[in-house]
């Protein structure tokens, strides 16, 4: 039964957070703990969706209170540091660090005092790495302004500053600095420039996709085996993203599987099968032949003229199974990113070719984890260089 009126006590708060930390969604956590959904969401939002796991302990490289007392007894009995370490089951360096950090300059090692010092050292409020390093903070802000995710920021900093540990951090440090109370070191604008725009970390929902039957469609299961491995460039995935119903507008999206390189198709005059085919031919013909081999599309009727595309470009077209957006994972992911620039239920026809080119440029300059945090443009440029070298050596 859900209790109303007087707020729950700290025991119930801890129970709710334990449920959330175990992986339950707020609604499920409310049901499991017998509290209201609104109260769980209140707690969820207060910590920005970042929970400390239940039963968290300090790092194993530190001694606990009982080990400190046993260490003092062994040292008083004349044991060496190495022998004492073996007795209490830790590495000798752990004992060495413990004595260096927590021994009194006059009275030596006192276990109770040592335990208090260690507790205070670990529990006191600390400034995060971002807060204590203005240069790093400015760089994180700059990358957030470019709509990089925290994980992309962390990976990109390792590339930009490979020999400077002070300019590197983990993506969790960025999340913690943005979301977790009371760590409010970064400006409020940081949360606004986080590309999701959320006030709390949330799992992604499932996207919906259109279905349809297409004459003479070649199944995705008939694609060459080389497509699946992402090792050989030239294989693309595509789809349409639609605007508001009233505008009946759309933009085509095509992404290459190996590099993640994005091509956007302007469709300002409509998105009939003939118009989509013409746009694909125009954009894909500009790419080198080795970089334009296949195209895997959703089951949308907008590509009913797929045979024309193949005849005019030499690109083989394949279609994913119905209700299987995961078969075009690269394209589904990039469509989600594009929606940051071309929101749902808006008129997409107002965006000029220059606008779409700017969107594609920004996404092609955004680092990708699977590319070692290099960008799609850098990956494509590397392939172009390799191709030019191959042509030069075989000429």
Beta strand 250-256 with 235-242: parallel, antiparallel or unpaired?
A: antiparallel
**Residue whose pair of structure tokens reads 């050596």 in the numeric block:** 393
- C-alpha to C-alpha distances, 93 to 25, 84, 116, 274, 281, nearest whole angstrom: 42, 11, 21, 72, 65
Closest CA to 325 of 295, 294, 298: 298
> How far is residue 121's CA from residue 98's CA, in Å, rounded to a whole number?
13
Q: Count CB neighbours of 294 within 10 A.
A: 19
Residue 181 has pLDDT above 50, yes or no: no
Mean pLDDT of 194-218: 58
What is the band of 212 on the pLDDT scale with cuts at 50, 70, 90?
Answer: very low
The residue with greater pLDDT, 17 or 271, is 271
| 145 token code pair | 């302004």
The two beta strands, 294-297 and 262-265, are unpaired
The pLDDT, as a whole number, for residue 64 is 82
Alpha carbons 370 and 231: distance in angstroms, whole number: 12
Identify whether the C-beta of residue 254 lies closer than 8 Å to the C-beta of residue 265.
yes
Instruction: List C-alpha distances in Å: 328 to 33, 186, 261, 323.
Output: 39, 37, 14, 11
Residue 359's contacts (CB-CB under 8 Å, 6 or more residues apart) are: 264, 338, 341, 342, 351
The per-residue pLDDT for 210 is: 42
Place 392 in a pLDDT band, splitting at 50, 70 and 90.
confident
In the predicted model, is pLDDT for residue 297 greater than 90? Answer: yes
pTM of the model: 0.59
Q: Once rounded to an integer, what is the mean pLDDT over residues 50-76?
A: 72
pLDDT at position 204: 44
Task: For residue 5, name the pLDDT band (cuts at 50, 70, 90).
Answer: very low
| pLDDT exceeds cutoff 50 at 185 | no
Residue 40 CB partners (closer than 8 Å, separation 6+): 16, 20, 26, 27, 29, 30, 33
Summarize pLDDT for 258-288 with one digit per residue, the tens.
999 999 999 988 999 999 999 999 999 999 9
The DSSP bridge partners found for residue 295 are: 236, 317
* Structure tokens given for 182: 């009371």
Sign of the C-alpha dihedral, residues 36, 39, 43, 48? positive
**191 pLDDT exceeds 60?**
no
pLDDT of 89 above 60: yes
Other CB atoms within a 10 A radius of the CB of residue 128 amount to 18
């Amino acid at each position: 039964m859900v209790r109303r009126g007087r707020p729950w006590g700290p025991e119930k708060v801890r129970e709710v957070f334990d449920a959330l930390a175990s992986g339950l969604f707020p609604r499920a956590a409310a049901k499991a703990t017998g509290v209201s959904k609104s109260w769980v969401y209140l707690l969820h939002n207060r910590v920005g969706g970042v929970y400390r796991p239940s039963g968290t302990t300090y790092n194993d490289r530190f001694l606990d209170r009982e080990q400190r007392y046993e260490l003092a007894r062994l040292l008083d009995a004349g044991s060496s540091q190495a022998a004492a370490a073996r007795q209490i089951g830790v590495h000798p360096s752990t004992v060495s660090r413990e004595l260096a950090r927590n021994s009194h300059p006059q009275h030596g090692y006192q276990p109770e005092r040592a335990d208090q010092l260690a507790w205070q050292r670990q529990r006191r409020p600390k400034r995060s790495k971002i807060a204590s390093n203005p240069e790093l903070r400015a760089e994180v802000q700059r990358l957030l302004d470019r709509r990089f995710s925290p994980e992309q920021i962390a990976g990109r900093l390792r590339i930009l500053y490979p020999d400077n540990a002070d300019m590197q951090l983990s993506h969790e440090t960025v999340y913690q600095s943005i979301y977790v109370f009371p760590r409010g070191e970064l400006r409020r604008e940081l949360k606004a420039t986080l590309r999701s725009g959320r006030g709390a970390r949330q799992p992604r929902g499932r996207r919906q996709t259109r279905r349809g039957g297409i004459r003479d469609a070649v199944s995705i299961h008939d694609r060459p085996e080389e497509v699946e491995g992402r090792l050989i460039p030239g294989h693309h995935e595509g789809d349409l993203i639609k605007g508001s119903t009233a505008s009946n507008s759309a933009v085509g999206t095509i992404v290459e599987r190996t590099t993640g390189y994005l091509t956007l198709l302007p469709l300002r005059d409509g998105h009939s099968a003939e118009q989509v085919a013409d746009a694909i031919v125009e954009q894909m013909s500009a790419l080198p032949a080795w970089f334009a081999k296949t195209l895997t599309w959703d089951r949308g009727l907008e590509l009913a003229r797929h045979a024309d595309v193949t005849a005019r470009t030499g690109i083989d077209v394949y279609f994913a199974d119905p209700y299987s957006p995961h078969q075009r994972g690269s394209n589904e992911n990039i469509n989600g990113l594009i929606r940051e620039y071309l929101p749902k239920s808006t008129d997409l026809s107002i965006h000029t070719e220059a606008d779409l080119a700017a969107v594609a440029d920004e996404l092609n300059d955004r680092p990708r984890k699977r590319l070692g945090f290099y960008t799609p443009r850098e990956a494509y440029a590397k392939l172009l260089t390799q191709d030019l070298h191959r042509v030069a050596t075989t000429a």
